[in-house]
Amino acid sequence: MERLEPQFYELPTLELTEKLLGKIFVRVLPGNIHLRGRIVETEAYSGTGDEACHAWRGQTARNRIMFQRPGTLYVYFTYGNHYMLNIVSEPENTAGAVLIRAMEPVEGELFMQEQRGTGIITSLMSGPGKLTRALAIDSRSNGKNLFNEEFYVENAPSLTENQIGTSTRVGISKSRELLWRKFIINNPHVSKVRGV
C-alpha cells in the first residue's frame, strides 16, 4: 500500500484531524513484526487559540516536538499511567498536533492482545492509552517521524462527509467548546465517550 508523502502532514491541524481518519498507521518492530491499525478517532490541538494545547503558552522543553517538522511523533505521558500518540502538523516552528484517539486493528492482533492482556478485539485500541500500549509506544518514540521503516502511515480511500462524526474533545478542562474531535460514525473501535 502507498505511504503518505511528507507534504500530507503539512495540512492545517483541523483538516489533518479529519484527513487521517481511515488511514493505516504502521509500526514495524524488530523481528519484522508488523503492527497496523486503521485510524478511527482523532482530536486537534493548536498552539493558537487553544488553551488545552501543551503549546498554548509557547515553546518549552516538554512541548518542543510540537514545533518540529510535520509528521513528527509527539508522545507524552499523562495521568501517571498512559502514553499519548500525536502527529505533529502545521509548518515548522508553528505548534499543532493531532492526537490519535483510537484505531481498528488490521495486522498484528496477537501481539496487541499480549500487550493489552485482552482478547476483545474492539477493546484493543479503543482509546489513546490503549492504542499506545497495543503498539508498544512509549517515550522512546517521542521525536521520531513517519518517514522511516519503523513508523509510517499508509494511504486509504478518503471518507465521505456522512461517515465522519464531530464532537467536543475528551478529558480536557479548557477550550472545551471547540468541536475538534473527529471519528468514524458507527465504528465499534471508537472510544466509548459519554454524551457523544
Q: Write out pLDDT tens, residues 71-104.
A: 999 999 987 689 999 999 988 877 789 999 999 9
User: Which CATH number is 6-184 given?
Assistant: 3.10.300.10
Q: Quick check: 173 pLDDT over 80?
A: no
pLDDT at 58: 64
For residue 114, pLDDT over 90 is answered with yes
The closest alpha carbon to 101, from 44, 53, 150, belongs to: 44
pTM: 0.93
Work out the pLDDT band at 192, boundaries 50, 70, 90: confident
pLDDT tens for 145-161 read 999 999 999 999 989 99
The domain limits of the chain are: 6-184
With 0-12 CB in 10 A as exposed, 13-18 as middle and 19+ as buried, what is 149? exposed
What distances in angstroms separate CA 17 from CA 32, 90, 110, 114, 166, one per listed residue?
Answer: 29, 12, 28, 29, 11
Q: What is the pLDDT of residue 52?
A: 58
Position 177 pLDDT exceeds 90 = no
- The DSSP symbol for 17 reads H
Residue whose C-alpha is closest to residue 28's, from 115, 102, 108, 98: 108
Task: Report angle CA 78, 142, 48 to the nearest 5 degrees.
Answer: 70
Question: 24-29 and 151-154: which strand pairing?
Answer: antiparallel
